[in-house]
A and B are shown apart, each in its own frame.
Chain A
């Protein structure tokens, strides 16, 4: 067995790490649910911004 394979055996495989990443998202949603104002389903934005007549209100990394 090559050194590379031996080295990789020490770490969890990709399926497990990927599942852990999804678990982290689940944790985020749980924390978010506890920290945020409940979503009002009757105040959801229109399906698509284009043609909605509304100015975009989302945040973006280009905004200082």
Chain B
């Protein structure tokens, strides 16, 4: 395409594609759907265009003592919390945070998720963004993620039955003002730890990531204000899996999860009425627009052995399954959970980071050495 079309014509086409998505959402599902599609597009553009990610910064913190990306994550979460806490306190009838219980399975599967995201080099949002930006490895992982998060819904009631605490929020434990203070204090403490553990030349957040953190926080807050709920990713992917399973003849509606009232409605209705599906679609499309906007795209990942491709697909399935049972991924549990005061967000982060460390040890053993040294190094942002 780039060999035929001048870049100005291609970019005009990309703008048109973005407009088609927004106007199409408006025409089929109403103005809120259009706004959420815009938010998703914005997230995709920022994540891909400014290379803000989750899995990659966790990896380089461990392997290269590069704390810049992780510090930018804490910054974005803190900025979001600064506005989200007062909003949630002032409008409790209209807005809800990403609050979930801490449980045995939640902790175990957050660990597994962390490990798997280092195998596929992307978390929930990262897999969508990387797939949209043309990363073949991420696209394969995305198919697995969709299947895995759907399988996770089928077993979620059993896993949560193993034991969970009540839902604890920092607002509930300390009050609204103090809850925000504890959140910011915790983020500052983690930032200090990361800063002190980083190599001296890799501890100052670059301007690109400052900008990305501010934009991500703004878009996450827009998501909260427009949808009434925090930014999430995994639910939409599980719903997509359910739709495909239903189309294949499976009686999805008979399962415990999908027969419960709220989820049954989502299964019956179009994905264009589902908040996370809309932002997920926008995320993927936004990453595509950012990738095609460049004069020339980044190189594709290197070819892997058939076994390694199979492992990437399997890791995607496990990642989707574990994200569902862990009640969220880096976005729904960590970013949105912590920024809206959920205790489970903090526990999720500790468990997933430990799992990420384990995944980094496991990865070279799973992937063929040649693939690891060549293909993954050019495998995209590793968001």
Contact = CB atoms under 8 A, between A and B. Distances in A.
Interface in B155-183: 156-157, 160, 164
Given A15-B134, A58-B228, A59-B276, A21 B284 contact: yes
B328 A7 contact: no
B35 A7 contact: no
Contact of A25 (B281, B292, B324): B281
28 contacts: A5-B299, A8-B303, A11-B136, A25-B285, A31-B247, A32-B243, A32-B270, A36-B269, A37-B270, A38-B270, A39-B269, A47-B32, A48-B225, A49-B95, A52-B228, A54-B228, A55-B93, A55-B94, A59-B239, A60-B230, A60-B275, A61-B232, A61-B238, A61-B276, A62-B327, A62-B333, A62-B344, A63-B327
Nearest to A21: B131
Contacts of A54: 94, 228
Contacts of B291: 14-15, 18
Given A10-B303, A14-B298, A50-B228, A62 B139 contact: no
Nearest to A33: B270
Interface of A: 3-5, 7-8, 10-22, 24-25, 28-29, 31-39, 41, 44-64
A29 B270 CA distance: 8
Given A10-B303, A12-B300, A15-B297, A50 B91 contact: yes
Contacts of B139: 17, 20-21, 24
A24 B288 CA distance: 13
A14 B157 CA distance: 39
Q: Sort chain B's interface into a size bin.
A: 35 or more
Interface in B47-98: 87, 91, 93-96, 98
A35 B233 CA distance: 22
A31 B250 CA distance: 14
B332 A61 contact: yes
A22 B226 CA distance: 25
A18 B128 CA distance: 11
Interface of B: 1-2, 28-33, 35, 87, 91, 93-96, 98-101, 131-136, 139, 142, 156-157, 160, 164, 225-230, 232-235, 238-240, 243-244, 246-247, 262-263, 266, 268-276, 281, 284-285, 287-288, 291-292, 297-303, 323-324, 327-329, 332-333, 336-337, 342, 344, 374-375, 378
A14 B270 contact: no
Contacts of B285: 22, 25
A14 B228 contact: no
A44 B31 contact: yes
Given A3-B374, A49-B226, A62-B333, 8 more contacts: A14-B298, A15-B2, A15-B134, A21-B139, A32-B271, A52-B228, A56-B227, A64-B160
A31 B271 CA distance: 10
Contact of B133 (A16, A18, A47, A59): A18
A21 B300 contact: no
A50 B374 contact: no
B56 to A, nearest CB: 17
Contacts of A59: 235, 239, 262-263, 266, 274-276
Given A25-B285, A61-B233, A61-B323, A51 B94 contact: yes
